[in-house]
Structure formats: structure tokens, C-alpha cells
A and B are shown apart, each in its own frame.
Chain A
Amino acid sequence: MELSGAEILFKCLEAEEVEYVFGYPGGAVLHIYDALYKQDTVKHILVRHEQGATHAADGYSRATGRPGVCLVTSGPGATNAVTGLATAYTDSIPLVVITGQVAQPMIGTDAFQECDIIGISRPCVKHNFLVDSLENLAMTVKKAFHIATTGRPGPVVIDIPKNLTDPNITIPFDYPADIEMRSYKPAISGTQGDIQRAVDLLVSAKKPMIYAGGGVILGEASTQLTALGRELGYPVTNTLMGLGCYPASDPQFVGMLGMHGTYESNMAMHECDVLLAVGARFDDRVTGQIDTFCPHARVIHIDVDPANIAKNFPVEVPIVGDTKAVLEDMLALLSETNRRADPDAIAHWWDQIKSWQSINSYNYDRNSSLIKPQFVVEKYCELTEGQAFVTSDVGQHQMFAAQFYRFDHPRRWINSGGLGTMGFGLPAAMGVRFAHPDAEIGCVTGEGSIQMCLQELSTCKQYGVAFNILNLNNGYLGMVRQWQEFTYESRYSSSYVDALPDFVGLVEAYGHVGMVIDKPGDVEGALREAIAMKDRLCFLDFRIDTEENVYPMIEQGKGHHEMRLNPRRSEFA
């Protein structure tokens, strides 16, 4: 069977079992869009901006574990996708982004809508390809999916010159069944010696701590991590990216750590003697001041990416491997040898942790006459029984969502952790909706963030995509205001968002439902109504306390034991 390049592309996507492609047409990809029209296996979702396409594909991937796929045109189409590529790259999300390129004879001539997307995207993708011949197209797509989804996952760009998709040029199609790349062989399992050393060190602990990140979710290792945590009886903390990889309702879970983590998890990090880091990369938002990070700890670090080990922090037992395979090996070794830490020491350690917990560092004023953002998230969690997929944007609302929604399952917390991309939440929620048509989905956002990809409300209208948007509207770029308050003597330089739109009128113009909620007593009713509304997108504009801050906070340059706690926390019931 002879096929054109455009037809080959869809055959490849079909072979990769791609369900949805999020995209936007343009000159360089018109042959591809024509081939799209003539097939019915791969479904195309027309977004309103290429950034929305990448975040939607990203949300789809985070919610399913499958690669997200985008199709965008050359030049501005491709450059608009860059923020989404960088977002996925920082959080190691597998994406395959197909960009059109001008025809090969035009490359380098400054042709209409030509740009060097290979050059532009290079620092923010795992890899990229400029397809050089029709014969190499299928193999390139195979390689792209292989690279995106194996090892430490990440986004891959395939740039396809327009002449290679010409319907008049056809070749026989053959999709390679397997792939062998001499230059790319990611490690799977850690070495037995290292695993033995890790177990020895773990059972020697008197004040152990397990610190698990997004790598546990990406590696589908939540079951193994949970089993290991419970087997050992050690306290477990999650990074922002790791939330849900260990059940938040489990008594051994001590909350998130880092800049806005709980007092108990950060104090435990500071005091621990053995630290097991799994699929976490010692990001500065976690470590704070690196000189004072875990000063007493001997560290075991499991990571699929060798370059992550000892990048920011020295490690005693490095284990390069897939988190699932390594944790399974550790569990097997523990059960064979039946070795455990000294139970008295561990009991003593838990007493210490419980005394830290008793200060209740997330406490807030529940009797306020103003709506507290924490209350909105807490209520939403309660009403959805912690089962919702929660996407977020970036800022105070993101931290409130991370602190107050209890994630008991992996892949429910969909947020731009590494890059901190405002505008992520709405398109990501669209992606989650396509992945899970019947799930409860809430996008927790702020009035600053939501305005960065607001045009996707139109996509939601076109496809009847329904979910709830919880806009924690304080009229400020809240996290910016908080930092300005703490470190710039409250000089609120450009953190005040003047001239906000009438959000209800706006979403209604797109055919959605809008509500304004300005009293704490109305929060629960509004949330119930929104949750019950399954077939309409509902935008809840919560007019929250404009001065509320995220506590606790580790300020820049401080250690984990130097958290700034809410100064008024003792006044709260």
C-alpha cells in the first residue's frame, strides 16, 4: 500500500494507539489536515491557541500516563507551543508535538511562517527531529514516541517540512515494530549491590524519612511506594509533583514538604538521619537553602535519570533505575530478610513528629466573615470525597489546592510544578476531560492565571466539555503580593489586577454557567450546585479575602527549620 507522508503520519499515530490530537491548522500542515479529514481513527480537538493544545495534551498525559499529542503549524504555531513544551519538559511529561515546517527547498530563505523550531525548542524538549525524507518519517515517529515515553519521560518535537506530506508523493508504508537506538538505552533496574546498601541503610535508621516525588507517579510506582512506606512504618512526605503517590489520608503521611509544606514534614526533613528520596529531584522549592538541607541525613536517591543524582545534593546510595522496578526489589529484599529498624527508635521518632503536628501549621480562620481560599478547597475536597481530578494554575490558589485537597490517588493532581506556568489549568482540565469523560474535574485557579489561556473556554463550548472552574478571586496576583509584603515592605508593584472582567458575563458569552460567591455561607451551596451540573462548564467566581497569605512559608535563603508560620494561627479555633 502506497501512502503519502500525511497518510503515513496518521497510520503511525494509529499504531501508537493515539486517541486524541490537540491542534490548530495552518499553511504548513494543510496536507496533514486534509489526511485527518479522510480518516476516523484519530480524533482531533481544535483548540484556540497552540499553548492550549500543549497544555491539554499535557493534562491528558498526566491523567492517563499515556503520551499527549499535538499538531501545530510552522512559525507562530510552533512558537506558541514552546511554553507548553517547557512546561512538560520540566515536569517530565511525555508529549509528541508535530510541527509543520515550510517545504524543504524554502528552509533557510526566511519564507512565510518559517522559523527554526528545532533551534528554538532544543533547550526545552527531551529531543527533537527535523524529518529529512519521506522514507524516514515512520521511523522518526516511532523514535519520537519511544523517546517521549521511556526513561525519564519528556516532550519530543517532530518538525515535518510541507513537501514531505504532499498527497501526490507516495511510498510504501511500513511501521517498525521495534526500535533500537545505540545512543539511547535508559536504565531500568538498579544494581543489586546498591539496593542491598539502600536496605541496610534504611533499617539502620532511627529518624527515617521517605521523600517521594513526581517520578513515583511517572513510573507507576505508587502501589510499591505505599507498600514500602507501610511495611517500614516510616513517615512519608510528598513533593508538590508527588501528591497522590502516597495516600494523603494515610496516618503515615505527614503532608507536603518544601516552601509551603507542613511544619512537621519540613522539621522531620531537617532532623532525619536517613532520607529515602524516590523520583524526586531536590528542587530548590523543596530544599530551600541547600547548605542547611537535611544536615544530619544519609541519603538514598532513586531516580531514572542519572543526571538527577547528586545534581543538587550529595547522595550516599545512588540508584539509577525505574522507580517501580527498584522499589519492588527493595520490597522483595525486605520481605526475604525480614529486617526492620529498631521499633523503639521509630516510636520515639513518631512521638517527635506528632508534637510538631500538634501546632497545626495549615490552620486558618474558619470564623472569618470573608471567604477563605483554604475553606473553598477544603469544602471542595469534602464534597468530592477527595476523588476529583484537580488542575491548577500557578500562585497562591495552587498552594491552597496542594495543601487542602487530600489526594489519595496518583494522577489526580494536575499542575505545572516545575515551570510554574500560569494559564495551564483550564486547557489541562480539557485534556483530563477527554481522558476521563465521567470524572469529577475541578480547575482551581485565580483571576490572574485564568486570564492567560481564557480563549480555551471557546474550545470547551465547541466540544461540550464540562467541568468546574473554582476561581479564587482576590483581585491581586496573590503570590506576588505575598512576596512583596514579606520582602519588599508591601510595595505592591504591579501585583494589583485592575479592571477585572465580569467573569460571569464572560463565561456566559461562551455559553457556560457563571456564579459569583461572596459570602462564606454560600460556598457549600454553590459547590454542590456546580458538582451536580454534569453537562455544563461552571465558573465559580469566589470573591475571597484579598489579604490571605499562604502559610507556612520557607523564605528564600532559609532552612527547613526556619519556617515562617501564620502569626495569627493561635487565635484560630
Chain B
Amino acid sequence: MRHIISLLIENESGALSRVAGLYSARGYNIESLTVAPTDDPSLSRMTIVTFGSDTVVEQIAKQTDKLIDVVRLVTYTETPHVERELMMVKLRAIGAQREEAMRLVSIFRAKIVDVTDSTYVVEVTGDSGKIDAFLGAVPSEQILEVVRSGVVGIARGESALKV
């Protein structure tokens, strides 16, 4: 089962490698990991997407929480939450491909953020499924380059992951 682990970690050098190292050392599967400072510059927020049974993910969460730098940690599995991922994809756009790409961009409510004679860079945001669907809809020979941010997630409503 897919799980999202969100955590606040001291914004100190080496904090990311402590988390990443824990995953590789313990053989945990990690689908994506995103990290950036929050409104409080002393704290970074990390979102980890992982797959595993409930017991495996419970253990992943406990081991991660045990790291000295981790201030708070929650797991969004059943919790109603919103998640987003950003992708930028560079498409070959020559002749009829240009029209077709524009149409897809419009259907997916994506954005063209760079244009040349022969390429488009398209920005797509949404849950990972939507991004996968966009990639699936574009003919593969047209895709020049893909960059995805990994997932970020936040709980709905009043609950907040704060210190």
C-alpha cells in the first residue's frame, strides 16, 4: 500500500542524508522524497512516499522519527489530505505536433512555460496519477526530457504539522 510520511526536521547540514541513509541502510523502498525549508527557516519539511504493508510503514515511520533531528512526523494513509506533484516535460513540437500538444495542455489544465521553433516545455501539476496520465497521453517519441518534483502532501482541515 502507498503511504505518505510527512515530517519536520531541523534545517541542519546532513539532515537529508540521515533520512536517505536510513532508507538505504534498512532496505526500505522509497518512491519519492522532497525537502525544502518552511516558513520557519530553522525547519525543513520533508515528504516521503513509500510502499509497504502497514507494519512495514509503521516501522519506517518509527525509525525515521527516532532520528535526533526529526522534530515531528505524521503518516497520511487514511487521513484526508491533498497531494501535489510538479512535472516539467520537454516535448518535441514540430508541425502538427504543436497543435496536438496545445490541445493536451488545455485538457490537463497544464501550462506551456517555454517555446522554441521545435520544442515546448510544459508544466503539469496535480496528483501523481494525473501526471502519469499526461505522460501516457503524449506519444513517447515526442518526449525529450522529464523532470518531476516528487510528491508534497498536506492534511485537510484544522490539523497541522507544526512545532
* A interface residues, Cβ below 8 angstroms from B: 118-119, 122-123, 126-127, 130, 132, 147, 181-184, 305-307, 310-311, 314
A123 contact set on B, CB distance < 8 A = 21-22, 25
- Whether A183 pairs with B71 at a CB distance below 8 angstroms is yes
Name A122's contact: one of B17, B55, B58, B65 (CB within 8 Å).
Answer: B17
Contact A311 B59 (CB under 8 A): yes
Q: How far is the CB of B10 from chain A (nearest CB, A)?
A: 6
Q: Is the CB of B59 within 8 A of A307?
A: yes
Residues of A within 8 A of B63 (CB): 307
Which residues between 1 and 28 of chain B lie within 8 Å of chain A, taking CB atoms? Answer: 9-10, 13-14, 17-18, 21-22, 25
Name the residue of chain B whose CB is nearest to the CB of A184. B68
Interface string of B60-104 (1 = CB under 8 A from A): 001101101111000000000000000000000000000000000
Kindly state whether residue B137 has any CB partner on chain A within 8 Å: no
> Is B66 within 8 A of A307, CB to CB?
yes
Chain A residues with Cβ below 8 Å from B14 are 118, 122, 130
Q: Take A122-B18, A123-B21, A123-B25 as given contacts and tell me if A310 and B71 are in contact as well, using a CB distance cutoff of 8 Å.
A: no
Chain B interface bracket (under 10, 10 to 19, 20 to 34, 35 or more): 20 to 34
**Chain B nearest Cβ from A180, distance in angstroms:** 13
- CB of B150 to closest CB in A, whole Å: 22
Whether B18 lies near A147 (C-beta < 8 A) is no
Expressed in whole angstroms, the Cα–Cα distance for A455 and B10 within the complex equals 42
Instruction: Flag if A126 contacts B55 (CB, 8 Å).
Output: no
Given the complex, which residues of B lie within 8 Å of A311, measured CB to CB? Answer: 59, 62
Contact B17 A183 (CB under 8 A): no
Residue of A nearest to B60 (CB): A307
Question: A119-B17, A123-B25, A130-B14 given as contacts; is B55 within 8 A of A182 (CB)?
Answer: no
Instruction: Tell me which residues across on chain B come within 8 A of A126, comparing CB atoms.
Output: 68
A441 to B55, CA, bound (A): 44
Residue numbers in B under 8 Å from A306 (CB-CB)? 62, 65-66
B residues sitting closer than 8 Å to A (CB atoms) are: 9-10, 13-14, 17-18, 21-22, 25, 55, 58-59, 62-63, 65-66, 68-71, 163
Q: How far is the CA of A422 from the CA of B14 in the complex (A)?
A: 32
Knowing A130-B13, A182-B71 are in contact, say whether A122-B21 is a contact too (CB < 8 A): yes
| Nearest-Cβ distance from residue A318 to partner chain B, whole angstroms | 11
The DSSP consensus for interface residues of chain B is helix
> Contact: B70 with A183, CB < 8 Å?
yes
User: With A and B bound together, what is the CA distance between A334 and B94 in angstroms?
Assistant: 81
Find chain A residues with CB under 8 A from B71 CB: 182-183
Q: Smallest CB–CB gap between A359 and chain B, Å?
A: 37
Do B25 and A147 have beta carbons less than 8 Å apart?
no
Write the nearest CB–CB distance from A78 to chain B, whole angstroms.
16
A130 contacts across to B, CB distance below 8 A: 13-14
Contact of A310 (CB < 8 Å), options: B13, B17, B55, B69: B55
Q: Which residues of A contact B22 (CB under 8 A)?
A: 123
CB-CB nearest in chain A for B59: A311
Q: Is the CB of A307 within 8 A of B62?
A: yes
Please name the residue on chain B nearest to A307 by beta carbon. Answer: B62
What residues on A are CB-neighbors of B65 within 8 Å? 306-307
Question: Which 6 A-B residue pairs are closest in the complex by CB-CB distance?
Answer: A307-B62, A127-B68, A183-B71, A123-B25, A307-B66, A307-B63
Subset of 9 A-B contacts with CB under 8 Å: A122-B18, A123-B21, A181-B68, A183-B10, A183-B70, A307-B66, A310-B58, A310-B59, A311-B62
Contacts of B58 in A (CB 8 A): 310
- B68, A182: Cβ atoms closer than 8 Å: no
Instruction: Kindly list 16 other residue pairs between chains A and B, CB separation below 8 angstroms, not including A183-B68, A310-B55.
Output: A118-B14, A119-B17, A122-B21, A123-B21, A126-B68, A132-B13, A147-B68, A183-B10, A184-B68, A306-B62, A306-B65, A306-B66, A307-B59, A307-B65, A310-B58, A311-B59
CA distance A307 to B63 in the complex (A): 6
Output the least CB separation between A555 and chain B (Å): 25
Which A residues touch B25, using CB under 8 A?
123
CB distance from B52 to the nearest CB of A (A): 14
Write the chain A residue with the least CB distance to B72.
A183
Residues of A within 8 A of B69 (CB): 183
A184 to B10, CA, bound (A): 11
Residues of chain A within 8 A of B70, CB atoms compared? 183
A147 and B14 alpha carbons, distance in the complex (Å)? 18
Give the residue among A118, A122, A183, A306 with the most B Cβ atoms within 10 A: A183
Chain A positions within 8 Å of B17 at CB level: 119, 122
Residues of the B chain whose Cβ atoms lie less than 8 Å from the Cβ of A122: 14, 17-18, 21
Shortest Cβ gap from A473 to chain B (Å):
37
A115 to chain B, nearest CB (A): 15
* Residues of the B chain whose Cβ atoms lie less than 8 Å from the Cβ of A305: 66
Q: Which residue of chain A has its CB nearest to the CB of B163? A: A182
Distance A306 CA – B59 CA, assembled complex (angstroms): 9
By beta carbon, the residue of chain A nearest B24 is A123
Determine the distance from Cα of A183 to Cα of B18 in the docked complex, in whole angstroms. 14
A184 to B65, CA, bound (A): 10
Complexed CA–CA distance, A183 and B72 (Å)? 7
Q: Give Cα A127 to B9, complex, Å.
A: 14
**Distance from B88 Cβ to chain A, minimum over Cβ atoms (Å):** 31
Given the complex of chains A and B, what is the CA–CA distance between A307 and B26 in angstroms?
A: 13
- Measured between beta carbons, the chain B residues less than 8 angstroms from A310 are 55, 58-59
A183 CA / B42 CA spacing, docked (Å): 12
Distance, CA A186 to CA B91, complexed state (A): 52
A307 partner residues in chain B, CB cutoff 8 A? 59, 62-63, 65-66
User: Complex formed: what's the CA distance from A310 to B56 in Å?
Assistant: 10
The complex places the Cα of A303 from the Cα of B14 at a distance, in Å, of: 29
Report Cα–Cα, A119/B25, bound state, in Å: 13
**Whole-angstrom distance between the alpha carbons of A126 and B65 in the complex?**
13
Q: Which residues of B contact A119 (CB under 8 A)?
A: 17
Task: State the CA gap A305–B67 with chains docked (Å).
Answer: 12
Q: What residues of B have a CB within 8 angstroms of the CB of A182 in the complex? A: 71, 163
- List A contacts of B62 (CB < 8 A): 306-307, 311
- Distance (Å) between the CB of B74 and the closest chain A CB? 15
Chain B residues positioned under 8 Å from A184 (CB to CB): 68
In the bound complex, residues from chain B placing their C-beta under 8 Å from that of A181 are 68
Alpha-carbon distance between A182 and B55 when the two chains are bound, in angstroms: 27
Q: Determine the chain B residues whose CB is within 8 A of the CB of A127 once the complex forms.
A: 68
A95, chain B: closest CB distance, angstroms: 15
A314 contact set on B, CB distance < 8 A? 55
Nearest residue, chain A, Cβ from B15 = A183
